[in-house]
Structures are given as C-alpha cells and as structure tokens.
Structure 1
Amino acid sequence: MLKLYRRAAWQLQLLTIIVIVAALAVIGFLGLQQFQAGDPGEQPPASKTVDIGGAAAILPAGERPFGLHVLGEGEVVVTPDRSIVELGVEASASTAAAAAEQASTTAERLVAAVREISSNPEEIQIQTTGISLAPVFPQVQAQPQPQPKSANPVGYRSSNTITITIDKLDLTSSVLDAALAAGANTVHSISFTLKSDGPAKERALRLAVLDAANKARVAAEALQGSVRGLISLNEEYVHVPVARSTRSAFPEAVMSSGSVPVEAGQLRIRATVRANFAYE
C-alpha cells in the first residue's frame, strides 16, 4: 500500500493529505460541540434574587423575564449637630508690614476670645485657613482722555481667615459674639452639618429601596400581574446637604452690634435608586 502511494502522482498524494486533514478537523469540531453542550439530561440550577421588600422569587437561569423599571426615593430629616463658622479679619495700612501686623494681632485676639468660651477640643476646634496681603492702588477716575495708571500703591490690605468648628451647637452664638467683639469684621459663612452622616445616609438609602419595591408592586398590580423578583438595582446618589448662611446674609447692623442669632434648622438627606423588577 505504501509502495503504491509512493508511486502515485504528486497531485494524488496532495489530494489524499487534504482529505485526511479535513476529516480530522470535522471530527475535532463535533467533539468540541458535544463537550460544550454537556449532558442534555442535566438542568441548569435556578438563580436566586435579592429579597427587596418581600418581592424576591426564584428565576430559572437563562430566562428573560419582563422588567418593571422604577425610581425609588427616600428622605430622612435630621437635626445638625455641628456648626462651622468662617470669620475674616481685615486691616489696611500704609505699609505691608503694618497691615499684616494689625491683621495678625486682631486674629490672635479673636482666637483667645473664642478659647475663653471653651478650650475643650471636643467642643471647639480653631484653624487658620487663609492669609493674604495685597497692595491697594488708587482708583482711576473716568477721564475724556486715557490717563496712565500709577505704579505706586497707596497702601496695603491684609486679611486672615479663621475657621471654627463647633460640636456643641448652643455655643455657636456665643462664639460669634466673642469673635465680633474681638475685632472680626467679616463673617464669610455659617454652615450646619453632621459629625457623622453614615447612619442617616443608610436610612435614606433603605427608604429609597423600599419605595422602589412598592412602586414595582403597584405597577405590576395595575398590569394585572405580580412581581417575581429583582433583576437589577443601582444607587443613583445619596445627597447630604449643608445648611449655609453666606456673608450677604449678615447685615451691617448685626455686624456692628456683635449679636448674631443662630438657628440650626434641619437637614434633609435624600437617596435615589433605580431598580428593575421581574413580573408576570
């Protein structure tokens, strides 16, 4: 047989090789298909969904159920337990050194006045968050003909920014009164927030998820169906606001009198989720 094959023309030898290679490729492909298919008698296991508001059910793997896309919202109202006061001290003088010295002296007097209210770091924390020094140039009056600007400053302005974090809210008004009396001439802002917002955010998120589950149930009942389980759930956002009063909210009369009424109010923490529930 081998001798006959060797005596055959080279075209016949090439054709024989091609046929053998093609047969081996077909056999390998069929074997791979059978391996991937597995045992036809085995059933794929069922996959479980997460129980959200009592809507959980077992969905067979591979099934594509109809989906109800809903938006869940949750809100938690809390009382802030921390205030943050940002104060400014500004001073002007003919020289840079004099302006800086005046601002620094007033800032030191301000810090000492606040320390007299409470030196407990668990109640009040004081931090210098800004220092600036800049020249002041004369204002150029409008003239029919352009006038050259003066390169020489007429003075200097220095400012210090002091941020005071107050973890005992009933001290906030006293801190403001003491700071104004000590020479603070700018209240940049007063804000109210939470020392730890984790628990409130969790409660808001839970309410949002339950709201989504309830909306899905109502929608399914309107369609004369029922919720089978959760397909997907995405957290959109959880927002923790900061109640803030800016500099424009403090009139000159309050600044000069040294008496600033303070009301913390309440914070509304909101959470939003997007959910897709299966129904039938």
Structure 2
Amino acid sequence: MYYNQPGYPSMGSGQPQAPSKPNRLAVTGEGSVYAAPDRAMITIGVITESPNLSTAQKENSDKTAAVINSLLALGIPQNDIQTTSYRIEPQYDYENGKQIFRGYKVEHQLQVTIKDLSKTGQVIDKAVASGANFISSIQFTFSNPDAFYNQALTLAIQNAQQKAVVMARALQVTLNPVPIVVQELSQNLPPRPVPFQAMSLAQDSGVPIQPGENKITATVKIEYTYG
C-alpha cells in the first residue's frame, strides 16, 4: 500500500501535462505576372437636359438608340451592350437664396464589352459621333483571368517557401517542409481602370488606345513547424 509522504508528490493525483506546442514559423509570399489584356470594358453615357421631362427622355432615347446601332454596326454583339444606369434628376438654379426649377436631366449609361481591342478607338469615335457625351472609364481585362492569377499564386507560394528556408537556416533549426497552414491573402483583382473623358473629343478624333499590360499579384501566408 502506498502512502503520501511529506515532500513527495502524489503519484495518483497528479494532473496530466498538456503536450507542448510545436514551434511555428510564419511567412508571407508574393508573386506577380504581367500579361497583355485581351478585352476592354467601356462605360458610355448619353446625358440630355430639357425643361420638359418627356422631351429630355425622348432625346435621350433617340441618341442612345443611335449609339447602340453604331456599336452593332461595328460588330459588337447585342449581348455585350448592357444598360448599367438610367437616372432622371430634376435640375435647379439658385438665385438670391431661392431654388428655381430649371428642368430635368436624363442619363443613360451603357457598359460595352469589346473582345477585339483593335476596335476600342473606333467604338469611342462612333459612340461620340452618334450622340454619346459621357465616357467614365476604360477597363482592360482578360477573358480568362484565373489562368494568370493561378500563375501568380504559384509564384507567391514559392516565394514564401524560399523565405521559410532562409529563416530556418539563419535560426539554425530544422524546418518541417510540409506547412501546417496555407492562407490565401489576395483575391483576383478587378479590371484595371483607365480614366477617360469624352466631352472634348471631336467626332473624327481617331482616339489611340494602348492597353499595355496588366499586373496580376497574389499573396499568401504560410506557417511551418520547426525543431
């Protein structure tokens, strides 16, 4: 039979010890690729004003229809022309602190997807010649953005792995090559916007559009254990 003695721990009542946590090493990695976009998205608008709402709407509708027809004539499919905004706003002047009704402003915005970048300048020219008086931006993007983002993601993981190896060597520890946590910090980026104003364009301006290259970046966080 066992009896507790002063100064000796009890063998039967001891609490189990929690397993020690492994040493962790966390790193972030970043990877980027550059690629030429193969499509563009343009927001084209028609803005009309008149003291009479019906007149403003009729003028806007006629000009918008003319813009759409000019785009169809260039070979832009109907499915690639989408209304994104249609607004009617009363307009006021202010004189001597008084609000005086001036009329109505009607704004119709179309988002046009161009799958042949060589037609980008023609699209702008024809739209302006047909009555468009507002272009908010041009956005260059890809038909398959995931392919380029996955390349950047692979480079980001490799970058994180290289950092972990360098840090382990500097610390003179043994790195477990299999990570315990892999976290994607980035997301596939939206199209790159290019500011553009249409108000000052002449109808025969021949707008030169240079899509250049888009930078696609991915970022990850990876945790390893080491001993």
TM-score by length of 2: 0.82
Which AA in structure 2 matches 1:78? A
Shift of 1:64: 4.2
Between the aligned partners of 1:63 and 1:195, the Cα distance in structure 2 is: 50
Does residue 88 of structure 1 match 2:45? Answer: yes
Query: 1:183 is matched with which residue: 127, 131, 144?
Result: 131
Determine if the alignment matches structure 1 residue 130 to structure 2 residue 85. yes
- Any unmatched runs of 5+ in structure 2? 1-11, 13-18
Give the 5 Å matches for 1:113-128.
113-120=70-77, 125-128=80-83
Cα shift at 1:203: 1.4
- Is 1:103 the counterpart of 2:60? The answer is yes
1:155 shift after superposition? 2.2
Post-superposition shift, 1:241? 4.1
Mapped contact 1:241–1:268 kept (Cα < 8 A)? no
Letter in 2 for 1:278: T
In structure 1, stretches of 5+ residues that fail to align are: 1-29, 31-61, 142-146
Mapped to 2, the partners of 1:170 and 1:214 lie a distance apart of 42
Secondary structure of 2:185's match? strand
Structure with bigger strand share is 2
Alignment of structure 1 residues 34-183 onto 2, 5 Å: 64-120=21-77, 125-141=80-96, 147-150=97-100, 153-183=101-131
Q: Percent identity?
A: 28
SS of the counterpart of 2:95? coil
Q: What RMSD, in angstroms, separates the aligned Cα atoms of the two structures? A: 2.4
In structure 2, the CA distance between the partners of 1:231 and 1:149, relative to structure 1 (3 Å rule), is: closer
Q: Distance in 1 between matches of 2:188 and 2:75?
A: 32
Alignment CA distance shift 1:195-1:273 (3 Å)? same
Distance 1:160 1:251, change over 3 A: closer
In structure 2, distance between residues paired with 1:66 and 1:125? 54
Is the Cα–Cα contact under 8 Å of residues 80 and 112 in structure 2 kept in the other structure? yes
Q: Residues 135 and 276 of structure 1: is their aligned pair in 2 closer, same or farther, counting only changes over 3 Å?
A: closer
User: What is the one-letter code of the residue matched to 2:46?
Assistant: V
Residue in structure 2 matched with residue 34 of structure 1 by the alignment: none
Report the CA distance shift for 1:128/1:231 in structure 2 as closer, same or farther (over 3 A).
closer
Residues 1:252 and 1:107: Cα distance change in structure 2 (over 3 Å): closer
- The CA deviation at 1:219 is 0.9
Specify the structure having the higher radius of gyration (Cα): 1
Alpha-carbon contact 1:241-1:269 (below 8 Å) kept = no
Instruction: Give the 3-state SS of the residue equivalent to 2:180 in structure 1.
Output: strand
| Residues 1:232 and 2:181 aligned together | yes
- Deviations for 1:192-234, whole angstroms, at most 9, x for unmatched residues? 1122211122111111111111111111111223322322222
Offset at residue 131 of structure 1 (A): 1.7
**Which has the larger helix fraction?**
1
2:74 partner amino acid: I
Decide whether the 8 Å contact of 2:128 with 2:201 is kept in 1: no
Paired position in structure 1 for 2:207: 260
**Cα displacement (A) at 1:148:** 4.1
Number of aligned residue pairs: 210
TM, length-normalised to structure 1? 0.68
Q: Which structure exhibits the higher relative contact order, with contacts defined as CA atoms closer than 8 Å and separated by 6 or more residues? A: 2
In structure 2, give the amino acid aligned to 1:242. Answer: P
Tell me which moved more, 249-258 or 105-114.
249-258
